[in-house]
Amino acid sequence: MYPFALPRLASWLTLFTLLATTQPTVAQRVAGLANAGRMSTLAGTPPNGSPGSIDGPALQARFNEPQGLVLGANGTLYVADTKNSTIRTISATGVVSTLAGQAGNAGYADGIGPQARFAQPVGVVVDAAGTVYVADQGNHAVRKITSAGIVSTLVGVPAALSRSAAEAISSSAPLRKPTSIAWGPGGDLYVTDEDQGCIYRIHPVTGAVRTWVSREQYLAVASQAPRFRGYELVSLVFDPTGAGYVGDGQGVIRKISPQGDVRDWVGTAGEGGFEDGTGPAAQLGNPTGLALGPDGTLYVADVRYAVIRRVSPAGQVTTLAGQGDQTGSRNGPVATARFLLPRGLARGADGTLFIADELGSCIRRISPQGQVSTWAGAPVRLGGDDGPGATAQFRAPEAVAVDTAGTVYVAEGGNMAVRKIAPDGEVSTLYGGLERSSAPARAVYLHHPTGVAVAPSGIVYVSEASSNVIYQITPQGSISLLAGLPSSEGGAVDGRAAEARFNHPSHLAVGPDGTLYVVDESNALVRTISLQGQVSTLVGKLPVYMGPRDPLLGTPTGVAVDATGTVYVSDGPAHVIRRITPAGKVSVWVGEPGRAGDVDGSGRAARFRLPAGLSLDRQGNLYVADLLNSTVRRVSPAGVVTTLVGEAGQQGSTDGQGPAGRLSQPRSVAVGPDGAVYIADWGNATIRVVR
């Protein structure tokens, strides 16, 4: 059954006892490391939020893409937790509870509290008695929840019901796609129906339905837009005079008189943007959340451009919070705060704004003093935030490089960007970022940058794995193609840069003469690009229809070059580091092929577990991102392997010295001019440094 002989139990016990009594403590191992240095977090914050459904104290609670919000008279915030298909409450003291529905069990059922079922509720309103009305989009219905938690169907015929069951529900006009719900004139409920392009008026007790604005009425105005592309009724609110404001996802807010006359108010349909202005000169994206202040100011959550806007009674639009072309979950002053997908909006009597950040799966808050904070839930961090290192965010940092001035460059696969960290810790984006319709058009879009290197001239090289090319970026952020042909289909061709072909290029290194070394991962090759733009294969076999891998090279996963031109290549699946002499001789330098582990030692007695990125210091020490051990190893010029930081099998994000520090699947390392070791800590979405 087993390819090896199992030892007797007594032998295992003897071995265990020996190990337990001879293994040094963490303190002893730290003391035994020469120049171990202490690891700290240079930039980024480990992800601490994820979608879920947890009740309790606000910041410990979890939501799943909430959309609708409304504030009750007693300060309770009601939340349509859309992906959980539940209705949640947040008390004025910050305690989250589930009012009705059961997370993970979408469907249709009336009943008490957790017995009831909803299907993607998107909007909520509440009356003075605490009765909640829900736009239950997936069930094409309006549901009613009493203060005792009893759920019933006020109007609508859920598609999931049988015909006989549907006929039992009183409904004069079934809804198709309710998108928002609001209190309006006469104390009635008003519901926008995106599919039908109309607004219904519903009696809150009898469920009687009549059409307030018909599809024909709405189209008569909407179709006059120069770039008319249809309608998307997504939000609704009424002022004290009975006038309604409807947000249209085509980038316009329309005003509806109490008599039902529709007219454009701010924005121009089909001409989206986030420029401030008055009336049709202002630009909007998708105004999905609306809330009115007592002075007639309309507050708008624009989900397309991730901003909160403010519209005066005269129709002047200004931006209150958010960056427009940059998303994130950064808290702080409104001028620098960011949102991911701000969907729903509610306003408190004191002027506090509550925002359902759908993609962040949390509830954010803007104080009357202009400070943005997280009110409930933990933001799902997607990275992309620039700024001071302590507040900046990354997503899947794949590789790091350092220039002679100590500036760190990061190939960030998750945000499709190259970021840089200045010596003072300030993070900025050199090039790229997530594609948003709000961002200026780019000459080149990065999709999966996996490697980065920087030349003494300041030119930054970045490998684009999904497009199979190498780009170069100037210090000013101008990008151009260096080698390869952008294509999802890889190849393996040497020659002039424009004619060369790669297949999933990953890690990069710059040699002492300026030659760029490329790990051509899927081809199992190490390639070089000369200063004259000539691409050559340093080692490995050019595959014929992806033929057999070169047994001397294996699968390269990292590369570094020393001052003599000796090349070091990590072979991740074989768990070894290979060395290539200037004469082209390939040998296993440290580690034993096919033998994974976490053993320090000399040469082939050492063990790694999927070694990845490599970097050399001026003394010839090689640093290895030992990915699956979650450690960084150091190999002396004599081939002696020690562990610089981290402890095998113990993932975490703790700062500290030697084994007291914790990493999570580090992908890359880079040594700075002062000897500091920078680490792309992929699992923690941070950049760490050992000094």
Give the model confidence (pLDDT) of 579-634 as tens digits: 999 988 889 999 999 999 999 999 999 999 999 999 999 999 999 999 999 999 99
Per-residue pLDDT at 382:
67
Do 662 and 603 share a structural domain? yes
Is residue 579 in a domain?
Answer: yes
Is residue 290 in a domain?
Answer: no
Determine the Cα–Cα distance for residues 216 and 213; give it in Å rounded to an integer: 8
Q: 3-state class of 684 per DSSP? A: helix
Q: Provide the percentage of residues in the chain whose pLDDT is more than 90.
A: 74
Determine the Cα–Cα distance for residues 481 and 486; give it in Å rounded to an integer: 9
Per-residue pLDDT at 552:
61
> At 26, which helix (H) or strand (E)?
helix 26-32
Last residue within a domain, chosen from 173, 188, 213? 213
Alpha helices in 130-199 (DSSP H): 163-167
Do 608 and 486 share a structural domain? no
Kindly report the CATH number assigned to the domain that includes residue 341: 2.120.10.30
Last residue within a domain, chosen from 546, 563, 584? 546
Structural domain span for residue 159 = 65-213
Is residue 280 in a domain?
Answer: no
Do 586 and 469 share a structural domain? no
Do 454 and 431 share a structural domain? no
Do 92 and 127 share a structural domain? yes
Per-residue pLDDT at 264:
95
Determine contact, residues 155/207, Cβ cutoff 8 Å.
yes
Per-residue pLDDT at 295:
96
Residue type, 164: S
Is residue 33 in a domain?
Answer: no
Do 483 and 413 share a structural domain? no
Is residue 584 in a domain?
Answer: yes
Per-residue pLDDT at 45:
82
Do 192 and 96 share a structural domain? yes
Question: What sign has the CA pseudo-torsion 355, 358, 363, 366?
Answer: negative
Is residue 77 in a domain?
Answer: yes
Do 131 and 80 share a structural domain? yes
Do 598 and 528 share a structural domain? no
Is residue 175 in a domain?
Answer: yes
Is residue 244 in a domain?
Answer: no
Do 621 and 607 share a structural domain? yes
Last residue within a domain, chosen from 159, 182, 213? 213
Distances (CA, A) of 200 to 142, 182, 189, 292: 11, 11, 8, 21
Beta strands, E only, 502-659:
505-510, 516-520, 525-529, 534-539, 556-561, 567-571, 576-580, 586-590, 601-602, 611-616, 622-626, 631-635, 640-645, 656-657
Kindly report the CATH number assigned to the domain that includes residue 447: 2.40.10.500
Using DSSP bridges, classify how beta strands 408-412 and 362-366 pair: parallel, antiparallel or unpaired: unpaired
Burial class (CB in 10 A: 0-12, 13-18, 19+), 310: middle
| Total tally of structural domains belonging to the chain | 4
Name the stretches of the chain with pLDDT < 50: 1-35, 159-160, 162-172, 438, 542-550
Determine contact, residues 357/363, Cβ cutoff 8 Å.
yes
Instruction: Say how many C-beta atoms besides its own lie within 10 A of residue 165's C-beta.
Output: 12
Do 683 and 586 share a structural domain? yes
Do 492 and 419 share a structural domain? no
